[in-house]
Amino acid sequence: MLISPTALYALALLAIPLGAIVLISFWTQTGVRDFDTTLTGANYVEALSDPIYRALMFRSLRIAGLVTLVTVLAAFPIAYFVSFGVPAQKKSLWIFLITIPFWTSYLIRVFLWKVILGYNGVFNSGLKVLGVIDQPLTFLLYNANSVVITLAHAYAPFAILPIFVALEKIDRSLLEAARDLGENRVMTFLRVTLPLAAPGVIAAVLIVFIPTIGDYVTPELIGGPGGTMIANMIQAQFLRLNNAPLGAALAVLAMLIVSVIAVAFLVLGSRASGAKGTRK
């Protein structure tokens, strides 16, 4: 069994830790490294009833949803352009250009967004030089907006690549057929290209949404008090407030919510594209 070493590794380092975190979320912390191992649901009650945790969870969902929307909407035209508007031999160069920024230090990229969006930042001083504004714009940094911009930048290739792959798989003769049968460009796009690209769009949505909800660095560095997310609270519970069980409960809840949303989205998505498929 060739797969066994890899599967065993994943089992030992992923399944067991995930099981452990679920288990510990039912414990109570009594000292720095001591736990009362009697099972209790108190952490979940606290995580669900305390308005701070609830607000953080909703904000994380809202920010991740917004990031996903912005990223996927901005990414689709790029993927479309590279797939349909670039000559075949130049496609991989474009994809390479799009992926390079993603492979450079994440921390430094996030920090540079702080430099760009800050009070005396590149963006504000640029607008001031151009005479568009007199006073620097303050809504750009240390809030949810800055988190959305930075994450949309960070996750761009994750959205572009799956959509690009789906568009590449479309048989070009289908588009010609639609045009021959009298559809115009827009209708061809809406009735042929878009439904066939749906799997890529669904993959893009999930691959952006799931990791962004757990992002720690961006909210920590540029989120300010209005942009902190659930990952910052999980980190604080584990490393600063010394309440690992509560942190674990928050992590488990975050995972559950994300999984429910992801599964619901997958079901809706496949139903939508399936329905379009049968109509065609």
Partner 1 sequence: MKGLKLYAILYLIFLYAPIFLLPLFAFNSSTIIAFPLQSFTTQWFSALADIPEMHKAVLNSLRIAATSAVLATSFGIFAAMASTRYRFPAQKGLMGFIMLPLVLPEIIVAVSLLVVIVNAGFSTGAWSVIAGHTLICTPFAIAILQSAFASLDPALEEAAFDLGETPASTFRLVTLPLVMPGIISALLISFTISMDEFIIAFFLTGADPTLPVYLFSMLRFPKLLPAVMALGTLLVLASVVLLTIAEYFRRRGIKRAGAKDTGGFL
Closest-CA residue to 258 (of 220, 214, 203, 196): 214
Closest-CA residue to 18 (of 231, 260, 254): 254
Q: Looking at beta carbons only, is 49 or 89 nearer to partner 1?
A: 89
**E strands along the chain, which residues?**
28-29, 35-36
Write the interaction track for partner 1 spanning residues 215-254; mark x where CB under 8 A is met and - where it is not.
xxx---x---------x--xx--xx----x--xx--x--x
Q: Residue 162 in contact with residue 200, Cβ under 8 Å?
A: yes
Q: Looking at beta carbons only, is 60 or 198 nearer to partner 1?
A: 60
Cα distances (Å, whole numbers) of residue 275 to 137, 196, 204: 46, 12, 20
**Any contact of residue 15 with partner 1 (CB under 8 A)?**
yes
Q: Looking at beta carbons only, is 109 or 276 nearer to partner 1?
A: 109
**Any contact of residue 21 with partner 1 (CB under 8 A)?**
yes
**Any contact of residue 142 with partner 1 (CB under 8 A)?**
no
Q: Looking at beta carbons only, is 69 or 165 nearer to partner 1?
A: 165
Applying CB under 8 A, among 42, 66, 78, 257 the residue interacting with partner 1 is: 78
HSE value, Cβ hemisphere, 13 Å, CA-based, for 137: 18
**Any contact of residue 113 with partner 1 (CB under 8 A)?**
yes
**Any contact of residue 206 with partner 1 (CB under 8 A)?**
yes
Q: Residue 188 in contact with residue 194, Cβ under 8 Å?
A: no
Applying CB under 8 A, among 164, 178, 198, 205 the residue interacting with partner 1 is: 164
